[in-house]
Chains A and B, each alone.
Chain A
Amino acid sequence: MTNLPVPFIIVLTILGLVGVGFYCLLATRNLIKVIVALQLIIKGVFLAFVLAGNLTGMISIAQTMGLTVIVADTIVAVIGLSMAVQIRHKMGTLDTKALSSLKR
């Protein structure tokens, strides 16, 4: 196991994170779990940025872009959670299927 090249292990981690996040998005009906899944996917993304930065030697630019991604994802979590709180308050449920009122 440990004689696999290190970049390959990290790529597996990244894909694992993104894959687990996507699975959660496919299989959940709770709004807060959706935000957890988004957080996992974004962790995979900036890990990929840093890996790319490391492999090409441009670690400082990778860190800057990773910072932007972290800021964006934190804002998404903040607004998503406050929306979830308000929805629970006004509509009484956090079930995405029951909340969906799009005319079909």
Chain B
Amino acid sequence: MWYAIVAAGILLCAILAVTSKKLLVSAIWLAVTSALVALMLYLLGAQQLAVIELSVGAGLVTVLFVFAINISGEEPMSLKPVMPKALAWGLVIIAVGMTIFLTLKSGVLGLTLQMPSTASMILWGNRYLDILLQIAFIFCGVLGVLGLLSDGKPEIQEEDEE
């Protein structure tokens, strides 16, 4: 029964995050969604991942969003979207419906959830390529942010001097 409640909560918060008019409110609902997803992960047995998702998703990313929204200022946009809302909802519901139909056909739902007692992440053993990739990613991310947030001015002055 807990699963159903958490699942309903996740969907509700996601829809609220998407349909709110102000950006800050969107970010807050995204944080609540992250927390509920972390709870769901914990219930499924992925405990370490749940902790990471809670701290990163509901913590780091939300703080970043709040910073970015404050720096760039709220734009009261009530612009028309590219296509009518009904069409968008319709397409999404059709796609989701087909996927549900295919999952039902595949019989994966016949399996039951297992509750492993202790299952920690295999970090270095045979997934070292993953870890290397993550390190490379973080490195590139830091470089990217430094490059994006730096001012372009000093380069132009150098060329003028030459």
Decide if A and B touch, CB cutoff 8 A.
yes
A contact residues vs B (CB 8 Å cutoff): 1-2, 4-13, 15-24, 26-30, 32-33, 35-37, 39-40, 43, 46-47, 50-51, 53-55, 57, 59-68, 70-72, 74-75, 77-79, 81-86, 88-89, 93-95, 97
B130:A15 contact, CB within 8 angstroms: no
Q: What is the CB-to-nearest-CB distance from B129 to chain A, in angstroms, rounded to a whole number?
A: 10
B contact residues vs A (CB 8 Å cutoff): 1, 3-4, 7, 10-11, 14-15, 17-18, 23, 26-27, 30, 33-34, 37, 40-41, 44-46, 48-49, 52-53, 56-57, 60-61, 64-65, 67-69, 71-73, 75, 77, 79, 81-83, 85, 88-89, 91-93, 95-96, 99-100, 103, 108-114, 116, 119-123, 127, 130, 133-134, 137-138, 140-141, 144-145, 148-149
Contacts of A39 in B (CB 8 A): 30, 57, 61
A86:B81 contact, CB within 8 angstroms: no
Q: What is the CB-to-nearest-CB distance from A76 to chain B, in angstroms, rounded to a whole number?
A: 9
**Given A63-B121, A95-B77, A97-B82, are A36 and B40 also a contact pair (CB < 8 Å)?**
no
B116:A57 contact, CB within 8 angstroms: yes
B109:A11 contact, CB within 8 angstroms: yes
Contacts of A8 in B (CB 8 A): 109
